[in-house]
Amino acid sequence: MNILITGASSGIGKELAKKYENQGHIIFAISRRKAEFENSYECDVANFEKLREIVKDITKNHQIDMVIANAGISYPHSASFMPFEEFKNTVDVNFLSIHALLENVVPQMKKNKKGKIVLISSLAGYVSSPTSLAYSASKRAINSYAEGLRNQLAPYNIKVINIKPGFIQSEMTAKNKFKMPFLLPLERGVERIEYAISKNKKEYAFPFVFASIVKLVTVLPTNLKDFILNKLNSSKI
């Protein structure tokens, strides 16, 4: 397979891409830092014009079988109202870049009547933490996008796989100063993601117990939900 992945210079993306490369697949990696893959492109995914040009060039010469929109950013948790530029950057990197990334991939996959589009969302998309508004909002936007895209592309045999991980050890979570419940080692988290991709899971939230608790919170009456979120916030989760 030819696999196009963003954010393969560290963490989940790097580990996942290495796994696929070891299985003999060809990796096309996009991130700001140079990734350790032969076809590595240095690009800030929030630079939509550059991103679209790079993907256009790649798809001119290669058929992409799977695209993994993994690049993501999380500013340090804070109870203060986020500066606009940081908010915009979070939404640009985590969400809007996905549509720019897919602009030239989707028509190619539609023509070939096959392909996989993997989106890396988060359990944070289910409930919005008061200390990471932009991140939660950007991930919830992915969930909405995935739901629509999945059904739009189903007639073309293109699978849309929305992954919603809990906490996984990476550069992103290493910055967190609070206790992260159900924190998974990187390798274990990536194993779960690879499994979900292999099974074409439409949505895959994990680890199971944490994901179940979070999903349960979403169906609670608003006042009870807010009570729990405020409790978690005061314990800095």
Q: Is 9 a catalytic residue?
A: yes
Site for ligand NAP in 77-116 (CB under 6 A): 93
Residues 143-172: x where in contact with ligand NAP by CB under 6 A, - otherwise, as a string: ----------------------x-xx-xxx
For 185-210, letters b (16+ CB in 10 Å) and e give ebeebbebbeebbeeebebbbbbeeb
Which residues does 62 contact at the CB level (< 8 Å), separation at least 6? Answer: 2, 26, 28
Q: According to the binding rule CB under 6 A, does residue 125 interact with ligand NAP?
A: no
Identified catalytic residue from 135, 136, 159, 170: 135
Interacting residues with ligand NAP between 22 and 41 (CB under 6 A) = 31-33
22: Cβ contacts below 8 Å, ≥ 6 apart: none
Residue 139 a catalytic site member: yes
Q: Give backbone dihedrals phi and psi of 217, rounded to 5 degrees, phi first.
A: -60, -35
Task: Confirm whether 204 is a catalytic residue.
Answer: no
Among this protein's residues, is 198 annotated catalytic?
Answer: no
Terminal alpha carbon distance of the chain: 39
Residues labelled catalytic: 9, 121, 135, 139
Binding site for ligand NAP (CB under 6 A): 6-13, 31-33, 44-46, 70-73, 93, 120, 122, 165, 167-168, 170-173
